[in-house]
């Protein structure tokens, strides 16, 4: 008997392979997104984005420590209280998490989003509101997505 299987159609990839790749892709993107929220908290503490590639000269060590501590604390409390989503034990840290990520990324993303919306002929004040709302939604997603994918019940 041979170990060679006859093809079952035009497929070139096994479903198990796709499932394994998808699992690792979701896991690593979740870790990357969590890292982005840590960066947002660090920049929020720093007060501004670095203007050169030598970012280590422009980001305060206190901002790094503060951002990591705040984001780590919020993430831990959110994950620990994930089964009680409407309690203050979950919503308090989530608010700090989303707020610090928003404050960190708003100076970078709001002008970018707003310019695009201005080019779509929206009134500038409406463009700014939508741009800020977009950054809040992204910050919420940065807080929620890793929690959903990195914790196995």
- Residues 72-131: pLDDT tens digits? 999 999 999 999 999 999 999 999 999 999 999 999 999 999 999 999 999 999 999 999
pTM (2 d.p.): 0.83
CB 34 within 8 A of CB 146: yes
pLDDT at position 95 is 96
Task: Give whole-number Cα distances, 96 to 17, 22, 42, 76, in Å.
Answer: 39, 31, 13, 12
Sequence-ordered list of residues with C-beta below 8 angstroms from that of 43, at least 6 positions apart, any chain: 49, 59, 63, 67, 103, 104, 105
Q: Name the burial class of residue 138, with classes exposed (0-12), middle (13-18) and buried (19+) by CB atoms within 10 angstroms of its CB.
A: buried
Burial of 41 (0-12, 13-18, 19+ CB in 10 A): buried
């Amino acid at each position: 008997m041979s170990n060679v299987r006859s093809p079952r159609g035009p497929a070139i990839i096994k479903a198990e392979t796709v499932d394994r790749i998808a699992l690792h892709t979701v896991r690593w993107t979740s870790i990357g997104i969590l890292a982005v929220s840590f960066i947002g908290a660090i920049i929020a503490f720093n007060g501004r984005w670095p203007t050169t590639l030598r970012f280590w000269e422009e980001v305060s060590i206190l901002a790094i420590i503060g951002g990591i501590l705040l984001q780590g604390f919020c993430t831990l409390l959110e994950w620990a209280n994930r089964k009680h989503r409407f309690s203050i034990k979950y919503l308090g840290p989530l608010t700090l998490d989303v707020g610090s990520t928003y404050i960190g990324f708003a100076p970078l993303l709001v002008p970018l989003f707003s310019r695009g919306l201005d080019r779509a002929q929206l009134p500038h004040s409406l463009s700014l509101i939508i741009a800020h709302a977009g950054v809040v939604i992204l910050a919420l997603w940065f807080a929620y997505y890793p929690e959903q994918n990195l914790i196995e019940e």
